[in-house]
Copies of this chain bind each other. A is one copy, B any other.
Amino acid sequence: MLQLFSEHILSKLSFLKNARLVVAISGGIDSVVLAHLCKKLGFDFALAHCNFSLRGDESDADEEFVIKLGEDINVEVFTQRFNTEAYAKEHKRSTQMAARELRYDWFKDLAAQLDFDYVLTAHHADDNLETFLINFTRGTGLNGLTGIPMINDNIVRPLLPFSRETIENYAKESDIKWRDDSSNSSRKYLRNKLRHEVVPILKEINPQLLDSFESTLDNLNDTADIVEESLNAVAKRAIVDINENGITYKVSEFKKVNNPKAYLFEMFKEFGFTEWNDIVNLLDAETGKYVKSNSYRLIKYREFLLLTEFPKGNYATKQIKESTVISYGLFGSLSFKEVKQIGEANNSVLFADKEKLKYPLEIRPWKAGDYFHPFGMTGKKRVSKYLKDEKLTPIEKENTWVLLSDEKIVWIVGRRGDDRFKVTDKTENILQIKLDK
């Protein structure tokens, strides 16, 4: 295997030879073999071991094993202990996801801090095949079937073309010692079931299964490249605006393609949508219709689709004590200043009679039922009616905030002041409230 590995490195990963490397090592057979191979090839590398504290003494014994290995082959070892369960609980992750995040975050930190060029992991061809089958049994799309990449940012997987069998044989021949992982998590259970019950039969059907699989992955990755390029081209034509409120797409570009759902799915899947037929129907829906995911909303507005974070309008009310600058929402910011006289009229600035204001003021998104006394008018008006009359887009409506004093609207921020708080002849102190854009 040493020779195969060496040839593979020379032909595909020659950049590793002159780089500083970190080998991610669990103490299991794959990563231990990878460390030995790197040593044999004279690579400049250190070992990095995560102790996830998930298997008590066993986890600690793994760590000790890796430290000992580092001494034996004369290679520096970094270890890091994580409270994986606590992290998982705090971040609402599965234990496995938590371990994954912790591991990769730490590797990246380590690489950055210590000036390593690449992090090497020991994934091999059978891992790749098992992942494919796991994704397949769960239901997936092309992205779930394109395999683990050999190179991804600064993560490199040099063992990816090699089978578990090849690695095991090399370990035995070379009298390499490793630690077996006795854990039996559900992920492991699934993997083991595929590894021991499904894959052997597939290999019996086709003894060259891993080679066929490699060419299948090559083909599917090529296809994924075509899809990505095509999506980028459609996105480039469809997107007419990107700003802090969201992204605006021309509906007509989605209507030009043969299968709009296919493009809509690929373009919006990362935003967590699930109701794809509803999204297709949006193309012909009337203005104001929308489809939402947990965090986003896709809104039909005239001949556009607007993608915006949801629920932007659901921010809590924020109190304003006699302050100078306050921020609200995602991007909003107001500054307060006493001035001698009112300046030029402007949507971004309000001049109010300070004595009429009752602190703390409050700022919050407008809501149904809100009303105000439009500046210069005698009567009151519903905010919803005002926004409609002003022909605001749904996104603009969602991003409309109101400044309140004692539950009365002082300002529809950035749009219209309230007559009740305006500066008059009797005003003694003028407060200038400015929207920072």
Binding site for B on A (CB under 8 A): 133, 136-142, 145, 190, 193-194, 197-198, 201-202, 204-206, 209, 211-213, 215-216, 219-220, 222-223, 225-231, 257-259, 261-263, 265-266
Q: Do B223 and A227 have beta carbons less than 8 Å apart?
A: yes
Q: How far is the CA of A209 from the CA of B133 in the complex (A)?
A: 12
Q: How far is the CA of A427 from the CA of B226 in the complex (A)?
A: 66
On chain B, the residues within 8 Å of A133 by CB distance are 202
On chain B, the residues within 8 Å of A139 by CB distance are 211-213, 215-216
Instruction: Report the minimum CB–CB distance from A130 to chain B (whole Å).
Output: 12
Instruction: Report the minimum CB–CB distance from A200 to chain B (whole Å).
Output: 9
Q: Do A225 and B190 have beta carbons less than 8 Å apart?
A: no
Secondary structure dominating the interface of A:
helix
- Contact partner of A263 (CB less than 8 A), chosen from B193, B202, B226, is B226
On chain B, the residues within 8 Å of A136 by CB distance are 216
Q: Do B258 and A220 have beta carbons less than 8 Å apart?
A: no
Q: Do A259 and B194 have beta carbons less than 8 Å apart?
A: no
> In the complex, what residue of chain B is closest to A266 when comparing beta carbons?
B226
Q: Do B198 and A201 have beta carbons less than 8 Å apart?
A: yes
Q: How far is the CA of A77 from the CA of B220 in the complex (A)?
A: 44
> In the complex, what residue of chain B is closest to A209 when comparing beta carbons?
B137
> In the complex, what residue of chain B is closest to A227 when comparing beta carbons?
B226
Q: Do A138 and B230 have beta carbons less than 8 Å apart?
A: no
On chain B, the residues within 8 Å of A211 by CB distance are 139
> In the complex, what residue of chain B is closest to A225 when comparing beta carbons?
B259
Q: How far is the CA of A431 from the CA of B284 in the complex (A)?
A: 71
Q: Do B258 and A219 have beta carbons less than 8 Å apart?
A: no
Q: Do A212 and B138 have beta carbons less than 8 Å apart?
A: yes
Q: Do B205 and A190 have beta carbons less than 8 Å apart?
A: yes
On chain B, the residues within 8 Å of A197 by CB distance are 201
On chain B, the residues within 8 Å of A215 by CB distance are 139
Instruction: Report the minimum CB–CB distance from A206 to chain B (whole Å).
Output: 5
Instruction: Report the minimum CB–CB distance from A184 to chain B (whole Å).
Output: 15
On chain B, the residues within 8 Å of A205 by CB distance are 137, 190, 193-194
Q: How far is the CA of A205 from the CA of B198 in the complex (A)?
A: 11
Q: Do A262 and B202 have beta carbons less than 8 Å apart?
A: no
On chain B, the residues within 8 Å of A145 by CB distance are 145, 220
Q: How far is the CA of A190 from the CA of B212 in the complex (A)?
A: 16
14 A–B contact pairs at CB < 8 A? A137-B205, A139-B213, A140-B219, A141-B216, A141-B219, A142-B223, A145-B145, A193-B204, A198-B201, A222-B261, A223-B223, A226-B226, A227-B230, A228-B258
Q: Do B219 and A230 have beta carbons less than 8 Å apart?
A: no
Q: How far is the CA of A154 from the CA of B228 in the complex (A)?
A: 33
Q: How far is the CA of A245 from the CA of B197 in the complex (A)?
A: 53
Q: Do A230 and B220 have beta carbons less than 8 Å apart?
A: no
9 closest A-B pairs by CB: A139-B212, A222-B262, A141-B219, A225-B259, A230-B230, A137-B206, A142-B223, A197-B201, A139-B215
Given A136-B216, A222-B265, A229:B209 Cβ within 8 A: no
Q: Beyond the given A198-B202, A223-B262, could you list 16 further A-B residue pairs with CB under 8 A, ordered by the A residue number? A: A136-B216, A137-B202, A138-B206, A139-B211, A139-B212, A139-B215, A141-B219, A142-B142, A142-B220, A225-B259, A225-B262, A226-B227, A226-B231, A227-B227, A228-B258, A229-B259
Q: How far is the CA of A226 from the CA of B259 in the complex (A)?
A: 7
Q: How far is the CA of A226 from the CA of B260 in the complex (A)?
A: 9
Q: How far is the CA of A41 from the CA of B230 in the complex (A)?
A: 44
Instruction: Report the minimum CB–CB distance from A190 to chain B (whole Å).
Output: 6
